[in-house]
């Protein structure tokens, strides 16, 4: 669904916040009358200084509008805005409208589970989606309490930001909430499988689709244990109790983000309920996400940014605290190593692109431009810098400042300057001298990372500031030094462009433990030494640091892909273990192998097969090796055998079965009929996504035409399926796909008529012809950026073009032999 609306400008939000104070919202929703739309009646009571303003509203139709008892013509609504003229003092606005159920992960998303035909609904109001659910003043600093009344099918459960109950069959009344910003108001409604618990006076609950109820039951003890441990630690650190009543964690289908911190009712993408076997890496990712969203209950929900330019504080703080608390109080004490694999490069690559921006003060003059800066810089870099700040201030000052911030602005809004004022006050009270102004200027207001490298011929560490963003940052970090077969650690402080490091070493790995924020690039001698040295390294964080050094070098065309393949062959599987797109294995197979010398994929496949024979059956390394072997396989005989009889210690679950089927499809070793029969035998959301990706991967014209129809919107699929099809399009012989390279750039602008928001931008990235590493494709990408594109699309294509340019640099610098 697309509704054309004007982005809210910062000056408009400031004017509206000066004019209005919102007393409360009363929202009545009828979710039972239709599968396409729902009834919405919003009553907003507010106080005004008197004068004109506007309400945000994106309906299918408007039945009636009354302001202070007088009708307002629905025809006044334009571009998602309803102009109104308020009276001085108390006002009441009532809007009766029909709203759209959506299937793009935004607004009130409705999904039908293919496993059993049951429908589920959840709300995602982030940024500008709330007006497709209820009429509102949609900006973060106009907080208000909400009371929801919901009519739903009789077998549904309804959960929201405040506790509620079913008063009669199909009728749910939720209590008046604490003051909330519009962007984290939510409802989840459907025939959910529910599990309840309690901890320290806080009612806890979990929900999932009925078809994965058994999987939620298996995971519930771990999820509740994590939640209880995190509550205890946050209460200890903050000294302020969780303030939003019940704490529900809803695992919902087709959710765009990892999770959303809605107070009292956090929503997670439901692949986090594990229906197939997963490794520890995925469990760590889930644990840190649980802790991240809990941290938001204080930073983001209790105290909310005044405007979107401080959204980084929400995410940086929650990222830092979620990772820290997970590592310190849960069973996942190795969380920092996994975070290094999963998140470090997300931030570092974003910070080195042309689209880089400062962490803070990034010029978000409207809500849409703010969303474009909601990236790895906001999360990973901001978290790393807060971690540095906490180390510099000490925990006592760091948390005293946070507590003062939470107390001073409780249930209100604040800015970065308010938080730093609290830290300055805490530092002064403790007698701690620290130059917060300089720290802020160098680390938060200046974009780009420094580059660190060791020159073994001159025995110096070189520090290079980004050319377009000059800075003079000092770095204190640990370096791992290999002398013979022995690794040692040395702490180093870099304060200038050249810092002596007199060591006898076979290899020097700079900042492997993520002590500072910089792109550390290994020298040639270190890269060569790692081929023999890395396999014996048992320190998980050092291994993660090595791979981050290699990935930073790759990003800057400073390492030969042949050398990376040599190291990977010796060390496979890379022990981040998971296949999410930010991690090492997808980068290795998706980016490095295509630019490496011929035979690289076969060598890595053989290494994975050898590892399968070496590791213990049933171990996580075996599962990781098996996934790598499937990813790199080209033998129909082998894949067919695995489909029936996997290696000893491996059970073929839905995920592994579809990995094999998709690889068979990519090579043309299967048919549409076999793929559809496999789905019919085990219908599920995950299977449907795999099916559509596999159908797009088949090496024939029909498959690519199907994929293209998804890109253009002619074939309508849910959001996860769109991404799977986008990746599947480019699999197969170049002669099948080359015509779509030009068509991508020609037809990209028109996709805004079919999709909007997150889904539109995600599709633009998923279908981008990243495999076409040519000057012509790069030129076409740069040309289309100059068109009148949706801002989210422009940002994704610009970043994809940056990646393409860097791949071209690797291709030119290290031609395939």
Residue 428 CA: distances (Å) to CA of 421, 422, 438, 594: 11, 10, 16, 56
Q: Residue 207 in contact with residue 188, Cβ under 8 Å?
A: yes
481 exposed, middle or buried (CB, 10 Å; 0-12, 13-18, 19+)? buried
The Cα 216–Cα 272 span in angstroms is 10
Q: Residue 476 in contact with residue 492, Cβ under 8 Å?
A: yes
Residues 6+ apart with CB under 8 A from 10: 307, 309, 364, 365, 366
* Lookup: tokens for 473: 């940052």
The Cα 164–Cα 175 span in angstroms is 6
Q: Residue 756 in contact with residue 719, Cβ under 8 Å?
A: no
Q: Residue 81 in contact with residue 5, Cβ under 8 Å?
A: yes
| Dihedral sign for Cα atoms in the order 782, 786, 789, 790 | positive
Residue 658 CA: distances (Å) to CA of 460, 481, 565: 50, 43, 27
Q: Residue 69 in contact with residue 43, Cβ under 8 Å?
A: no
First-residue to last-residue Cα distance in the chain = 49
β-bridge mates for residue 107, sequence order: 124
Q: Residue 294 in contact with residue 322, Cβ under 8 Å?
A: yes
Three-state DSSP state, 789: coil
Pairing of strands 247-252, 202-208: parallel
Active site residue 293: yes
At 756, phi and psi to the nearest 5? -150, 170
* Three-state SS sequence of 338-359: HHHHHHHHHHHHHHHCCCCCCC
Among the listed residues 585, 679, 584, 574, the one whose alpha carbon sits nearest the alpha carbon of residue 631: 585
Three-state DSSP state, 58: coil
Give the Cβ contact number of residue 126 at 10 Å. 22
Radius of gyration of the chain (CA): 27
Q: Residue 133 in contact with residue 203, Cβ under 8 Å?
A: no
The Cα 370–Cα 360 span in angstroms is 11
Q: Which of 96, 261, 293, 666 is catalytic?
A: 293
Three-state DSSP state, 493: strand
Among the listed residues 320, 314, 291, the one whose alpha carbon sits nearest the alpha carbon of residue 385: 320
The Cα 16–Cα 55 span in angstroms is 10
Catalytic residues: 293
């Amino acid at each position: 669904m697309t509704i054309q609306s004007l982005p809210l400008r910062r000056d408009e939000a400031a004017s509206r916040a000066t004019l209005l104070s919102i007393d409360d919202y009363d929202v009545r929703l009828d979710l039972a009358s239709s599968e396409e739309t729902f009834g919405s009646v919003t009553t907003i009571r507010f106080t005004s200084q008197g004068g004109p303003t506007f309400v945000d509203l994106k309906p299918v139709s408007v039945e009636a509008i009354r302001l202070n008892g007088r009708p307002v013509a629905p025809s006044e609504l334009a571009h998602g805005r309803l102009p109104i003229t308020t009276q001085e003092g108390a006002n009441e606005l009532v809007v009766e409208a029909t709203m759209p159920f959506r299937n793009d992960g935004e607004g009130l998303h409705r999904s039908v589970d293919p496993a059993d035909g049951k429908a589920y609904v959840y709300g995602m109001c982030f940024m500008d989606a709330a007006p497709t659910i209820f009429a509102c003043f949609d900006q973060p600093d106009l907080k208000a309490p909400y009371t929801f009344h919901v009519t739903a099918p009789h077998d549904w459960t309804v959960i929201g930001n405040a506790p509620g109950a079913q008063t009669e069959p199909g009728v749910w009344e939720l209590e008046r909430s604490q003051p909330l910003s519009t962007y984290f108001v939510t409802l989840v409604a459907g025939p959910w499988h529910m599990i309840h618990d309690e901890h320290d006076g806080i009612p806890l609950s979990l929900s999932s689709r009925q078809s994965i109820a058994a999987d939620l039951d298996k995971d519930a003890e771990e999820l509740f244990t994590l939640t209880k441990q995190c509550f205890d630690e946050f209460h200890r650190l903050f000294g302020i109790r969780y303030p939003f009543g019940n704490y529900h964690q809803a695992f919902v289908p087709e959710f765009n983000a990892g999770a959303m911190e809605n107070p009292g009712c956090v929503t997670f993408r439901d692949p986090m309920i594990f229906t197939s076997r997963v490794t520890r890496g995925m469990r760590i990712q889930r644990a840190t996400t649980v802790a991240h969203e809990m941290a938001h209950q204080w930073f983001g929900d209790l105290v909310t940014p005044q405007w979107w330019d401080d959204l980084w504080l929400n995410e940086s703080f929650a990222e830092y605290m979620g990772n820290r608390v997970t590592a310190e109080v849960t069973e996942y004490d190795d969380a920092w190593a996994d975070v290094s694999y999963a998140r470090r490069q997300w931030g570092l690559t974003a910070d080195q692109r042309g689209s880089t921006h400062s962490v803070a003060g990034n010029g978000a003059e409207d809500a849409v431009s703010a969303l474009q800066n909601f990236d790895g810089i906001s999360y990973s870099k901001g978290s790393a810098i807060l971690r540095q700040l906490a180390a510099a201030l000490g925990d006592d000052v760091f948390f005293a400042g946070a507590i003062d911030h939470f107390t001073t602005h409780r249930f209100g809004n604040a800015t970065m300057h308010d938080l730093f004022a609290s830290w300055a006050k805490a530092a002064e009270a403790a007698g701690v001298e620290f130059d917060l102004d300089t720290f802020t200027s160098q680390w938060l207001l200046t974009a780009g990372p420094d580059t660190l490298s060791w020159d073994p011929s001159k025995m110096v560490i070189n520090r290079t500031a980004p050319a377009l963003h000059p800075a003079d940052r000092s770095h204190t970090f640990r370096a791992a030094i290999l002398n013979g077969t022995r690794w040692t650690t040395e702490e180093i402080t870099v304060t200038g462009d050249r810092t002596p490091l007199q060591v006898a070493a076979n290899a020097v790995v700079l900042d492997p433990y993520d002590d500072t924020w910089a792109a550390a690039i290994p020298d040639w001698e270190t890269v060569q030494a790692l081929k023999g040295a890395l396999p014996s390294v048992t320190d998980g964080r050092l291994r993660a640091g090595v791979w981050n050094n290699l990935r930073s070098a790759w990003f800057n065309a400073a390492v030969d892909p042949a050398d990376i393949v040599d190291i990977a062959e010796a060390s496979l599987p890379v022990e981040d273990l998971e296949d999410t797109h930010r991690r090492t294995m997808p980068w290795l197979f998706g980016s490095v192998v295509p630019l490496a010398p011929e035979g690289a994929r076969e060598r890595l496949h053989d290494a994975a097969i050898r590892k399968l024979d070496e590791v213990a059956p049933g171990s996580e390394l075996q599962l990781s090796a098996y996934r790598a072997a499937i990813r790199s396989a080209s033998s129909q005989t082998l894949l067919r055998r695995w489909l029936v009889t996997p290696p000893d210690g491996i059970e073929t679950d839905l995920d592994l079965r579809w990995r094999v089927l998709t690889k068979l499809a990519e090579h043309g070793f299967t048919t549409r009929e076999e793929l559809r029969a496999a789905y019919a035998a085990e219908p599920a959301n995950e299977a449907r996504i795999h099916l559509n990706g596999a159908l797009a991967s088949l090496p024939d014209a029909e498959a690519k035409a199907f994929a293209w129809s998804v890109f253009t919107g002619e074939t309508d699929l849910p959001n996860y399926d769109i991404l799977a099809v986008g990746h599947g399009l480019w699999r197969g012989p170049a002669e099948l796909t080359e015509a779509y390279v030009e068509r991508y750039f020609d037809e990209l602008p028109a996709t805004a008529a079919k999709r909007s928001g997150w889904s539109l931008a995600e599709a633009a990235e998923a279908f981008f012809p990243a495999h076409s590493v040519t000057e012509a494709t790069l030129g076409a990408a740069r040309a289309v950026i100059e068109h009148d594109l949706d801002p989210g699309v422009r940002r994704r294509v610009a970043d994809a073009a940056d990646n393409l340019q860097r791949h071209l640099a690797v291709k030119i610098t290290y031609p395939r032999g």
